[in-house]
């Protein structure tokens, strides 16, 4: 593996795999003004916090739509438009949030509890809302005064704060909501360091400094422009030519070359999500329907799936395919999460002999054939080939079926697969990374997996506001997941962002979102 | 003439209807579901249902088709499923980019191709012909994306002569616009220039050995006049046909070129729409492309009679 390690050691002394979130700008070292150009790997969808479903819209929102809560470097929730963490009543059903005073929306109207209420109600009632399920069992929203909002829940729901640190917590101007309605995305108005200026579909999104922002003096740049460039090497070329100063989602293949460029630095953080392998063990009629038995040993016998996991060498995999930049993962709980524990990070070690033994105990003939559905991107194909070679030693004959991404989503939801490779970008609260995927009837439980013990642990965890108790419950959940192995967690992606050294103060936290609003050009 | 135009119009309408049918049902026969692509990570059965309902995707296909045709007849292309932006406004932004890119590419290709073709024919067997032939071979065999990447690497990143990507509208900043679009246009035009060069060369060779050119030479006309007025004019018929036929190739080439240079044109829009299964956008793009083809073919036919009066647009012998 020496060849692969070489790519990560050039440049300055930061080692591959070591987090570098970036530092806030030094006011004495940056000048005011200038337009920052960010090369973005995919086009954001609708710029409407209620409807938005793509990760990339969060990059733009970060500059124009502040949230009740934000996430810091340690993946902890911190206040943003709220002034403190919420107070939760003893029964866990009443959540009170104190709000910032004196803030104004980009259209000059005041930010207050009525605006928060209007926003939350839109999230809960809009037919196409992508936020409804994230907000959980909200009953009513009260506004006792202009500076506080009280959320009444039907049941305790701990993941609420995590949701309010994402799009659900972005507060929209009631005036703009009234005039634009469903077309809010055409000219979004929130509280933010910048305000929306222009969008050229497929091409670019421009925002300009907002003089109404409560902390406007801390904003250095005049404007930010996101240019959509889906090809990683083109993004890298734009960075080198100076046409862009920032590029997101750098390929692990380009990492070495970019690190070697003295005019650039690479920010990196481990994501809260995961990439994994999902076995179809009961999804016959499509996701969300009652699971039915599938007459294949790998679907019926957990030993065969465990054998597959023992056949995997995660460390060698990330080293060979991703230059060691991504981190091996064995559970949905990131080590960066405050909910991580020893149980949550337990990992079955690579043991091909044990894999063969389990297969013989399961009474199947080797090599046991498995067909894997995977996206047809170059990185995925390299991963698939490495997996294929690896599990061969454990007694598996892995067949690779590459399909284009939209088809992959379709096939997985219909249950037309035996094994599939996909991932999840991750959320701050563990519940959002687990329950939907492995909980019985979960909207993304494409495996058709169901275990009442696991469901009980997850329900208890989402209804508890005690960090230690939740930590323990998620540890238990991971143990159960590893016994059943319906979803084998493989690795955690690293968010790699290349930044010109002409720019200071750009940061990327574990949620993967580029924070550019308070950056500035070096003097 | 009027009868000819009427027949052409009727055929064109039929072609458009056929392509609308093929695309409408073809794109829906593809695996993949726009609601799923749009829902992305945050998908739940209710959300998927709401998206399908909002965009009318839950209606039976014949009803969806009837509604679509009805709306298009009124000039309404619907709303992009991906971005929620009206398709007509996306087309208005994207169309000028692709038209400008294609026109510039054709102009460059025609100037270069005809020039090199004439030169190669007139200087037959000399180094000029070898050079022109060699360049044409390169132009034909090297794919656009590769040339584009090389151009970005050497002309943008290393030399800093052109921007690596991006676009400025012509009316907003003509100089900036040209600066952004010249490189993609040259790359896009290379293949076409090579084809034009080869065709011009062989047509010129044929023309140069024909009776009327020999007569012209015998009358003592200057060589330049013989080449331009007698040989080249006849050869241009072939060139015009080739340019017309190659426009299709140019549009598909534009898809790749726009993607590489990040130009917000039709090509980029098409690729993104196909990946996202953004039905309204795909349909609109194909409909407009088909219309463009029909118009171009018609113009090519008209041009024939301008270049060579022996050809009448009625198709009947003069």
| pLDDT, one tens digit for every residue, chain A (523 residues) | 333 333 333 334 345 567 888 989 899 999 999 999 999 988 888 899 998 877 789 999 999 999 999 998 888 899 999 999 999 999 999 999 999 999 999 999 999 999 999 999 999 999 888 898 889 899 999 999 999 999 999 999 999 999 999 999 999 999 999 999 988 998 999 999 999 999 988 788 999 999 999 999 999 999 999 998 888 888 888 898 888 999 998 888 888 888 888 999 999 888 889 999 999 999 999 887 889 999 999 999 999 999 999 999 999 999 999 988 999 999 999 988 889 999 999 999 999 999 999 999 999 998 999 999 999 988 899 999 999 999 999 999 999 999 988 888 889 889 999 999 998 888 888 998 999 899 998 888 999 999 999 999 999 999 998 999 999 999 999 999 999 999 999 999 888 999 999 999 999 988 888 999 999 999 8
Decide if A406 and B90 are in contact by the 8 Å CB cutoff: no
Chain B within 8 Å of A411 (Cβ-Cβ)?
yes
Q: In the 8-state DSSP scheme, what is residue A290?
A: P
- B6 vs chain A: nearest CA distance in angstroms? 38
Q: Pseudo-torsion of CA A316, A321, A322, A323, nearest 10°?
A: 70
> Which residues lie closer than 8 Å to A14 by C-beta, 6 or more apart?
A20
Instruction: Count other Cβ atoms within 10 Å, centred on residue A137.
Output: 13
pLDDT at B313: 54
Helices B87-122, B127-141: crossing angle, 10 deg rounding? 150
* Helical axes B266-276 vs A405-414, angle rounded to 10°: 10
Min Cα distance B151 → chain A (Å) is 11
- More confident call, A434 vs B285: A434
Contact A202 B166 (CB under 8 A): no
Q: Which of A45, A55, A202 to probe by mutation at the B interface, max B CB count within 10 Å?
A: A202
Neighbours of B1 (CB within 10 A): 8
* pLDDT reported for residue A375: 92
User: Which residue of chain B is at minimal alpha-carbon distance from A234?
Assistant: B260
Is B157 in Cβ contact with A201 (below 8 Å)? no
CB contact under 8 A, B152 and A241: yes
Nearest residue in chain A measured CA to CA from B37: A406
Q: Verify whether the Cβ–Cβ distance B32 to A43 is below 8 Å.
A: no
> B285: which 2 tokens?
């793009």
How much is the pLDDT for A231?
Answer: 81
Distance CA A39, CA A249 (A): 10
Region B239-244: what's the mean pLDDT? 77
The C-alpha atoms of residue A153 and residue B53 are separated, in whole angstroms, by: 29
Tokens 């002309």 label which residue? B155
Task: Give yes or no for A227 touching B (CB within 8 A).
Answer: yes
Q: What DSSP string runs through B25-78?
A: HHHHHSSS-HHHHHHTTS--HHHHHHHHHHTTTTS-HHHHHHHHHHHHHTT---
Q: Residues B51, B35: contact at Cβ < 8 Å? A: yes
Contacts of A128 (CB under 8 A, 6+ apart): A50, A51, B47, B50, B51, B54
**Could you give the 3-state DSSP secondary structure of residue B251?**
helix
Nearest to B36 among A288, A413, A425 (CB): A413
Write out chain B residues lying below 8 Å of A48, CB-based.
84
Cβ within 8 Å of residue B60, ≥6 positions away:
none
Residue A155 zone, left/alpha/beta (φ > 0; ψ -120 to 50; rest):
beta
Give the chain B residue whose CA is nearest to the CA of A407.
B32
Report d(CA A79, CA A97) in Å as an integer: 10
* Closest residue in chain A to residue B32, using alpha carbons only: A407
Q: Nearest Cβ partner of A202 from B38, B42, B264?
A: B264
Higher pLDDT, A481 or B86: A481
Alpha carbons A187 and A180: distance in angstroms, whole number: 8
Residues of B in contact with A403 (CB under 8 A): 31
**Are B245 and B106 spatial neighbours (Cβ–Cβ below 8 Å)?**
no
DSSP string, A1-29: -HHHHHTTTSSSSPPTT--B---PPPTTT
A377 near B CB under 8 A = no
On whether any CB of chain B is under 8 Å from the CB of A185, the answer is: yes
The pLDDT of residue B292 = 81
* C-beta of residue A150 within 8 angstroms of C-beta of residue A96: yes
Residue of A nearest to B55 (CA): A128
Distance, in Å, from the CA atom of B96 to the CA atom of A422, rounded to the nearest integer, reads 39
Question: In this complex, do B40 and A45 lie within 8 Å of one another by their Cβ atoms?
Answer: yes
C-alpha torsion angle, residues A277, A283, A289, A293 (rounded to 10): -130
**CA nearest A326: which of A287, A268, A384, A398?**
A268
Partners of residue B53 in chain A, C-beta under 8 Å:
127
Q: What is the pLDDT of residue B5?
A: 80
Give the per-residue pLDDT at A173: 97
Task: Note whether A202 contacts B80, CB cutoff 8 Å.
Answer: no
Whose tokens are 């971005």? That residue is B83
Residue B298 reports pLDDT greater than 60:
yes
pLDDT of amino acid B314: 53
Q: Phi first, then psi: what are they for A457, rounded to 5°?
A: -65, -40
Percent of chain B with pLDDT over 90: 11
| Shortest alpha-carbon distance between residue A425 and chain B (Å) | 8
In tens, the pLDDT along B170-190 reads 888 899 899 999 999 999 988
Q: Do A241 and B93 touch (CB under 8 A)?
A: no
For residue A215, how many other CB atoms are within 10 A of its CB?
Answer: 11
Q: What is the enclosing helix (H) or strand (E) of A247?
A: strand A246-247
Radius of gyration of chain B (CA): 24
**Residues of A numbered 130-159 whose beta carbons fall under 8 angstroms of chain B's beta carbons: which are they?**
130, 132-134
For A:268-327, CB contacts with B below 8 A are: 287-288
Contact A450, A291 (CB under 8 A): yes
**Are A201 and B80 a contacting pair at CB < 8 A?**
yes
Inter-chain residue contact B153 with A237, CB threshold 8 Å: yes
Q: d(Cα B209, Cα B206) in Å, to the nearest integer?
A: 5
Phi, psi of A521 (to 5 degrees): -80, 140
Q: Residue A443: which of B43, B264, B272 has the nearest Cβ?
A: B43
Pairwise CB contact (< 8 Å): A127 & B53: yes
Residues of chain A neighbouring B54 (CB-CB closer than 8 A): 127-128
Residue A253: how many other CB atoms lie within 10 Å: 18
Q: What is the per-residue pLDDT for A230?
A: 82
Interface contact B41-A424, CB threshold 8 A: yes
Of A45, A127, A404, the CB nearest to B82: A45
Higher pLDDT, B59 or B123: B59
Determine contact, residues A496/A8, Cβ cutoff 8 Å: no
Contacts of B82 in chain A (CB under 8 A): 43, 45
**ipTM (interface predicted TM):** 0.74
pLDDT at residue B166 in the model: 79
**Cβ contact (<8 Å) for B166 and A200?**
no
Is the preceding peptide bond at A195 cis, omega within 30 degrees of 0? no
Looking at residue B235, its pLDDT comes to: 76
pLDDT of residue B317: 44
């Amino acid at each position: 593996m020496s060849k692969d390690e070489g790519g990560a050691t050039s440049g300055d002394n930061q080692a591959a795999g070591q987090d570098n979130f970036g530092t806030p700008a030094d006011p004495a070292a940056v000048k005011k003004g200038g337009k920052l150009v960010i090369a973005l790997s995919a086009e954001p969808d609708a710029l409407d916090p209620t409807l938005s479903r793509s990760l990339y819209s969060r990059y733009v929102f970060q500059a124009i739509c502040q949230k009740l809560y934000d996430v810091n470097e340690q993946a902890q929730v911190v206040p943003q438009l709220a002034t403190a963490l919420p107070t939760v009543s003893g029964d866990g059903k009443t959540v009170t949030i104190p709000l910032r005073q004196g803030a104004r929306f980009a259209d000059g109207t005041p930010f207050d509890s009525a605006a928060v209420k209007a926003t939350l109600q839109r999230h809960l009632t809009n037919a196409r809302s992508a936020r409804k399920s994230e907000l959980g069992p909200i009953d009513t929203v009260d506004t006792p005064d202009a500076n506080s909002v009280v959320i009444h829940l039907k049941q305790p729901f701990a993941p609420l704060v995590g949701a309010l640190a994402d799009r659900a917590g972005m507060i929209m101007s009631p005036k703009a909501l009234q005039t634009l309605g469903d077309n809010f995305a055409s000219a979004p108005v929130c509280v933010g360091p910048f305000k929306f200026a222009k969008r050229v579909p497929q091409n670019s999104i421009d925002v300009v400094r907002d003089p109404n922002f409560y902390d406007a003096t801390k904003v250095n740049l005049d404007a930010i422009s996101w240019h959509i460039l889906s090809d990683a090497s083109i993004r890298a070329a734009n960075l080198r030519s100076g046409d862009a100063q920032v590029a997101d989602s750098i390929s692990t293949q380009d990492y070495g070359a970019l690190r070697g460029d003295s005019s650039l630095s690479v920010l990196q953080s481990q994501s809260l999500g995961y990439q994994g392998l999902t076995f179809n063990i009961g999804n016959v009629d499509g996701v969300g329907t009652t699971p039915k038995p599938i007459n294949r040993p790998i679907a019926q016998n957990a030993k065969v799936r465990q054998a597959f996991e023992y056949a995997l060498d995660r460390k060698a995999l990330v080293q060979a395919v991703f230059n060691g930049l991504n981190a091996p993962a064995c559970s949905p709980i990131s080590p960066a999460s405050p909910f991580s524990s020893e149980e949550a990070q337990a990992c079955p070690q690579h043991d091909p002999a044990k894999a063969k033994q389990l297969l013989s105990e399961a009474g199947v003939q080797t090599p046991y054939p498995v067909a894997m559905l995977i996206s047809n991107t170059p990185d995925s194909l390299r991963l698939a080939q490495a997996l294929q070679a690896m599990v061969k030693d454990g007694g598996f004959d892995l067949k690779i079926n590459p399909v284009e991404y939209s088809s992959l989503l379709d096939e997985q939801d219909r249950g037309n697969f035996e094994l599939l490779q996909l991932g999840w970008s991750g959320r701050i609260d563990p519940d959002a990374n687990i329950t939907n995927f492995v909980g019985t009837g979960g909207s993304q439980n494409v495996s058709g997996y169901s275990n009442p013990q696991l469901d009980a642990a997850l329900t208890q965890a989402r209804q508890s506001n005690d960090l230690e108790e939740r930590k323990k419950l998620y540890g238990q959940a991971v143990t159960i997941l590893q016994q059943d192995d319906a979803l084998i967690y493989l690795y955690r992606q690293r968010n790699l962002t290349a930044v010109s050294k002409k720019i200071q103060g750009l940061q990327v936290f574990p949620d993967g979102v580029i924070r550019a609003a308070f950056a500035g050009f070096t003097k | 003439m009027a009868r000819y135009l009427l027949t052409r119009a009727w055929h064109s309408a039929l072609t458009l209807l056929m392509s609308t049918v093929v695309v409408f049902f073809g794109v829906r026969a593809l695996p993949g579901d726009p609601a799923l692509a749009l829902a992305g990570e945050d998908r739940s059965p209710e959300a998927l249902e709401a998206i399908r309902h909002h965009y009318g995707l839950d209606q039976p296909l014949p009803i969806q088709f009837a509604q679509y045709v009805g709306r298009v007849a009124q000039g309404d292309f619907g709303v992009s499923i991906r971005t929620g932006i009206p398709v007509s406004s996306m087309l208005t932004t994207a169309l000028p980019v692709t038209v400008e890119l294609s026109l510039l590419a054709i102009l460059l290709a025609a100037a270069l191709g005809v020039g090199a073709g004439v030169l190669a024919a007139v200087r037959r067997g000399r180094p000029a012909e070898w050079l022109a032939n060699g360049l044409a071979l390169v132009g034909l065999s090297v794919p656009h994306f590769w040339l584009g990447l090389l151009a970005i690497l050497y002309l943008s990143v290393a030399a800093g002569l052109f921007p690596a990507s991006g676009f400025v509208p012509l009316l907003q900043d003509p100089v900036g616009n040209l600066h952004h679009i010249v490189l993609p246009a040259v790359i896009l035009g290379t293949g076409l220039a090579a084809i034009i060069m080869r065709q011009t060369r062989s047509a010129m060779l044929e023309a140069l050995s024909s009776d009327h050119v020999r007569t012209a030479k015998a009358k003592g006309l200057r060589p330049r006049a013989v080449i331009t007025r007698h040989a080249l004019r006849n050869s241009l018929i072939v060139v015009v046909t080739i340019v017309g036929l190659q426009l299709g190739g140019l549009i598909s080439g534009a898809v790749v070129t726009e993607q590489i240079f990040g130009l917000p044109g039709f090509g980029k829009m098409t690729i993104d729409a196909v990946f996202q299964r953004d039905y309204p956008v795909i349909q609109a793009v194909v409909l407009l492309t088909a219309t463009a083809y029909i118009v171009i073919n018609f113009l090519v036919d008209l041009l024939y009679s301008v270049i060579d009066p022996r050809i009448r647009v009625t198709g009947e012998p003069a």
